[in-house]
Amino acid sequence: MKHDLAKIPEIIGRYPQQESSLIMVLQDIQKEFNYLPCEALEQTAEALHVPLSKVFSVSTFYNAFSLTKKGDVVVRVCIGTACHIRGARQIQEQLETALKIQAGETTRDEKFTLEVVGCVGACAMAPVVLTNEQYHAQCKVHTVKKLVSKR
Amino acid sequence: MVSLTINGKVVRAEEGEYLLAVIRRMGIDVPALCQHEAVEPYGGCRLCMVEITKDSWDGWKKYVTSCLYPVEQDLIVTTHSDKVNDLRRGILDLFLARNPETPLIQKLAADYGLTRTSYEAIPEPNDCILCSICTRVCDAMGFSAISMVNRGHGKEVAPPLHQAPPDCVGCLACAQACPTNYITYEDVGNRRTIWNKQFELLVCDKTGRPTITKEFADYLIKNREIPEDYFRIDDASHREELADKMGRITRWSVTEEAK
């Protein structure tokens, strides 16, 4: 994915230029780039009149924000209780083998990032895997690789 | 004015005052690690926990952080009941797991009868107790150069992006306020390094001794209406005056004070 940093001012401009807009601005930047580029943090701090240290503090506090580049597709394996009971670890291992990376890492071609997450609130569908925002229900060890096959 | 009972003694206090201030005024020793006179109470360390009740509460008791609890009419406060001491011991047990080698923690824990943690101590401990005094003092100074980053067991004090903080002026307020001397800096000649950022120190015209950083002086001259040559004269009255101006958060030069 090409990251067009020139888009940042437009994103910041969507909200009132004040401290209380901070999280909304960061969320939109995260959505656009899949992570928070340094330049974005600096520009946000300046535009919203918030110290850079506070912007950094907020962006490292929430799991929803990432400071490292992610792949085009973020694959999230739920390892919450219900998914764990129904074999989430095996699903995770399958994906790790298929992508040749460990959870938390991004493939070299920057196509996929693999993450494990706590409960995603869809326990009846366990085990659950998310690709970006799409939920995949009742994943099976022998078919889960399809989710990350290169198209 | 309200009147309340602390450890059996009736005392009077201003409305809006916090319990800890009243307790300390009575000379009672209640531990608190995140308390600093220059900044608002924080409620972070939980050690100033006390037991409160009222006659009208029908035997109910509450445990509150005294640094953040405003005084109330007819409140009955106990600072060292068995239960309170137990709570403090539990908190110190956790502190010992995080900071097993920190003298301040070791001493406080020993006061409560603990010599080692019952938990597993963290493998590579440092002296940061996460009291956040440094970041709050930095905010109070008006710089906000450093902040708490991450959370849970990864929480730490750090400059933004883990790089030399752009807003830092090298005033040393954080290092001087740090209760465990975790934050370090280095003064060599007229150069100062803190948070991996280099500063040049101004020197006294007469004695040639370093005073404060150029950046800090520029800030004070601009924002606190201090004359420009003020930091080029190194004498005791200037030191005192500046310390007063800055709410005694930071002093002129620590090297001088150490002599």
- In CATH, what class is B2-79? alpha beta
Final residue before a domain boundary, out of A33, A61, A89: A61
Residue B238: its pLDDT value, please? Answer: 75
Same-domain pairing of A88 and A141: yes
Residue A55, in any domain of the structure: yes
Same-domain pairing of A46 and A77: no
Q: Where along chain B do its domains lie?
A: 2-79, 81-127, 133-258
Name the average pLDDT for chain A.
Answer: 91
For an interface test with B, the pick among A56, A58, A61, A65 (most B C-beta atoms closer than 10 Å) comes out as A56
Same-domain pairing of A126 and A77: yes
Residue A66, in any domain of the structure: no
> Percent of chain A scored above 70 by pLDDT?
97
A95 Ramachandran zone, left/alpha/beta (phi>0; psi -120 to 50): alpha
Same-domain pairing of A102 and A139: yes
CB contact under 8 A, A38 and B161: yes
Q: Which residues of B touch A63 (CB under 8 A)?
A: none
Residue A102, in any domain of the structure: yes
Q: How many domains does chain A have?
A: 2
Q: Which amino acid is at B94?
A: L
Q: Quick one: three-class SS letters along B173-195? A: HHHHHCCCCCCCEEEECCEEEEC
Q: Which residues of A touch B165 (CB under 8 A)?
A: 52-53
pLDDT per position as a tens digit, A11-65: 999 999 999 999 999 999 998 988 999 999 999 999 999 999 999 999 999 988 9
- A64 to chain B, any CB pair closer than 8 A? The answer is no
Residue A68, in any domain of the structure: no
- B161 to chain A, any CB pair closer than 8 A? The answer is yes
For an interface test with A, the pick among B130, B144, B162 (most A C-beta atoms closer than 10 Å) comes out as B144
- A61 to chain B, any CB pair closer than 8 A? The answer is yes
Same-domain pairing of A141 and A91: yes
Q: Per-residue confidence of chain B (259 residues) as pLDDT tens digits?
A: 999 999 999 999 999 999 999 999 999 999 999 999 888 999 999 999 999 999 999 999 999 999 999 999 999 999 999 999 999 999 999 999 999 999 999 999 999 999 999 999 999 999 999 999 999 999 988 899 999 999 988 999 999 999 999 999 999 999 999 999 999 999 998 999 999 999 999 988 888 888 889 999 898 888 877 777 787 777 777 777 776 766 555 544 333 443 3
Q: What is the CATH number of the domain that holds A77?
A: 3.40.30.10
For an interface test with A, the pick among B137, B148, B156, B169 (most A C-beta atoms closer than 10 Å) comes out as B148
Q: Which long-range contacts link B63-67 to residues 24+ away (Cβ below 8 Å)?
A: B63/B87, B64/B19, B66/B18, B66/B19, B66/B20, B66/B23, B66/B30, B67/B18, B67/B19, B67/B20, B67/B32, B67/B34, B67/B35, B67/B41, B67/B42, B67/B43
Same-domain pairing of A27 and A92: no
A66 to chain B: closest CA residue: B150
Q: Which residues of B touch A46 (CB under 8 A)?
A: none
A37 to chain B: closest CA residue: B161
Task: Give the span between the Cα atoms of A22 and A11, in whole angstroms.
Answer: 11
CB contact under 8 A, A60 and B159: no
Q: Which ipTM was obtained for this model?
A: 0.84
Residue A94, in any domain of the structure: yes
Same-domain pairing of A52 and A88: no
What is the Cα A138 distance to its own chain's centre? 21
Domain that holds residue A55: 5-61
Q: Which residues of A touch B132 (CB under 8 A)?
A: none
- A54 to chain B, any CB pair closer than 8 A? The answer is yes
Q: How far is CA A66 from CA A104, B11, B149, in A?
A: 11, 52, 13
Neighbouring C-beta atoms of residue A63, cutoff 10 Å: 10
CB-nearest partner of A56 from B143, B151, B160: B160
